[in-house]
Amino acid sequence: MEKQVIGSRHKLGILGGGQLGRMLIQEAISYDIHVHTMDQNATDPSASIATSHTIGDIKNYEEVLAFGKDKDVVSVEIENVNVDALKELEANGVKVFPQPRVLEIIKDKGLQKQFYLENDIPTSAFELTTENTDTAHYASKLPFVHKLRTGGYDGRGVELIRTEADLENVFKAPSLLEELVPFEKELSVLVARNERGETAVYQTVECEFNDANLVAFLFSPADISQDIEQRATELAIDVINKLEMVGILAVELFLLKDGTLYVNEVAPRPHNSGHHTIECNITSQFEQHLRSVLNLPLGSTEMIREGAMINLLGEPNHTGLAKYEGLMDVMQMPGVHIHLYGKQQTKPNRKMGHITVAQKDIQTAKRIAAEVKGKIRVVTD
């Protein structure tokens, strides 16, 4: 008989203890799924609400192995984890989703791009560079985008190299050199797949980034034609099927002026571009991730509200104990939902929380979101 996974104190282990793990736990509670997290600090966002929080290094083989061995299912909320330990756990009968072989491809931006090339998934032209690639070669490629193959996150590890003067910023480590794409919009499509191979896809959203490459605003739905919506959706399903991945996948896309869509990169976990689904869709991305990794029926992705999401980022020049300015004001605005991640310390551009504005129409959501953005600041005393 199939083991009952909900309402049964099923043990789910999550590598990473950040806000994504925290929001996953908020949904897991409804299903009485016990979530155990592992990360570096006792103050991690998931620590105070996880069934247990193990202090450990998610990149360390022994520590990941020890953490995972008594779990029924192990998943991640960040891809930069020790994949060898996950392979070992998988060989020992622990379910690991997304699968270690998928994490291995995705955590290395070079392997990820090669995967797209080999599987006819449209993506920008690229080449791999090393610590020995010389300046003359880089100069011949201007302008381009340089990305560390591993370890980059939230815009760290990505450099726009436009001019000769920028050449001093190239990474002296294995990296990916991509043509600079003159995109019109950055889109994202969330798609989930369970072990039975069933898929469920969310409506495409549109992201606006700040100077530090962090999402400043997200709009759902994206302002795109039906044709583009359909092609973006098909592309996301194609990517998850070709990866044969189990879990939720965020597929980040570039839309070019002529309607071309390129896959920029993917994230095999809940993602910043899906936070609005908590209030705006029948099934949130966090619940959907749980449903997919536990091989449950996938939930409806139907949009019930249009919305805008604003990341609450630490203000420049403020490092220390966090204080939120303007919370009382924005709480009075219609359709505003506040999410704070429980991080005591703020620093420039740290993701401290997010606010979703859920409305009947996207225009109203955008207007209120702009007002919210003008009123709220994460500062120190």
DSSP state of 106: H
274 three-class SS:
helix
- Non-local CB neighbours of 358 within 8 Å, separated by 6+ positions: 276, 279, 280, 305, 306, 307, 335, 337, 365
Q: Is 162 in the site for ligand ADP (CB under 6 A)?
A: no
Q: Is 11 in the site for ligand ADP (CB under 6 A)?
A: no
Contacting residue, 22, 147, 193, 305, with ligand ADP by CB under 6 A? 147
Smallest gap from residue 216 Cβ to ligand ADP (A): 11
Longest dimension (CA), the chain: 65
Binding mask 198-217 for ligand ADP (x = CB under 6 A): -----------x---x----
Q: Is 264 in the site for ligand ADP (CB under 6 A)?
A: yes
Return the number of the residue (155 or 342) whose C-beta is nearest ligand ADP: 155
Contacting residue, 186, 206, 287, 315, with ligand ADP by CB under 6 A? 186
Whether the link from the prior residue into 98 is cis, omega within 30° of 0, is: yes
Q: How many CA atoms lie within 13 A of 372 on its CB side?
A: 28
Smallest gap from residue 223 Cβ to ligand ADP (A): 17
Return the number of the residue (214 or 333) whose C-beta is nearest ligand ADP: 214
Return the number of the residue (34 or 147) whose C-beta is nearest ligand ADP: 147
Return the number of the residue (122 or 155) whose C-beta is nearest ligand ADP: 155
What count of residues does the chain have?
Answer: 381
What one-letter code names the amino acid at 306? E
Return the number of the residue (145 or 362) whose C-beta is nearest ligand ADP: 145
Contacting residue, 154, 184, 329, 371, with ligand ADP by CB under 6 A? 154
Return the number of the residue (53 or 275) whose C-beta is nearest ligand ADP: 275
Q: Is 326 in the site for ligand ADP (CB under 6 A)?
A: no
Q: Is 145 in the site for ligand ADP (CB under 6 A)?
A: yes
Report the C-alpha gap between 287 and 298 in whole angstroms: 9
Smallest gap from residue 10 Cβ to ligand ADP (A): 31
Q: Is 74 exposed, middle or buried (0-12, 13-18, 19+ CB in 10 A)?
A: buried
Question: How many residues make contact with ligand ADP (CB under 6 A)?
Answer: 17
| 35-51 burial: b if 16+ Cβ within 10 Å, else e | bbbbbeeeebbbbebbe
- Non-local CB neighbours of 243 within 8 Å, separated by 6+ positions: 102, 105, 115, 249
Report the C-alpha gap between 315 and 30 in whole angstroms: 34
Site residues for ligand ADP, 85-144, by CB under 6 A, read 124
Smallest gap from residue 297 Cβ to ligand ADP (A): 31
Smallest gap from residue 282 Cβ to ligand ADP (A): 28
Return the number of the residue (31 or 126) whose C-beta is nearest ligand ADP: 126
Q: Is 158 in the site for ligand ADP (CB under 6 A)?
A: yes
Site residues for ligand ADP, 267-286, by CB under 6 A, read none
Smallest gap from residue 68 Cβ to ligand ADP (A): 25
Residue 319: phi and psi, rounded to 5, are -130, 125
- Could you tell me which stretch among 5-13, 44-52, 178-186, 238-246 binds ligand ADP (CB under 6 A)? 178-186
Q: Is 227 exposed, middle or buried (0-12, 13-18, 19+ CB in 10 A)?
A: exposed
Q: Is 77 in the site for ligand ADP (CB under 6 A)?
A: no
Strands (E), 81-240: 95-96, 126-129, 144-148, 158-161, 175-179, 185-193, 199-201, 205-209, 215-220
What one-letter code names the amino acid at 310? I
Return the number of the residue (11 or 109) whose C-beta is nearest ligand ADP: 109
- Could you tell me which stretch among 173-181, 233-241, 242-250, 314-322 binds ligand ADP (CB under 6 A)? 173-181
Residue of minimal Cβ distance to ligand ADP: 181
What one-letter code names the amino acid at 73? V
Q: Could you give the angle at the alpha carbon of 336 between the alpha carbons of 332 and 337, nearest 5°? A: 120
Q: Is 155 in the site for ligand ADP (CB under 6 A)?
A: yes
Residue numbers of the site for ligand ADP (CB under 6 A)? 124, 145, 147, 152-155, 158, 178, 180-181, 186, 209, 213, 252, 264-265
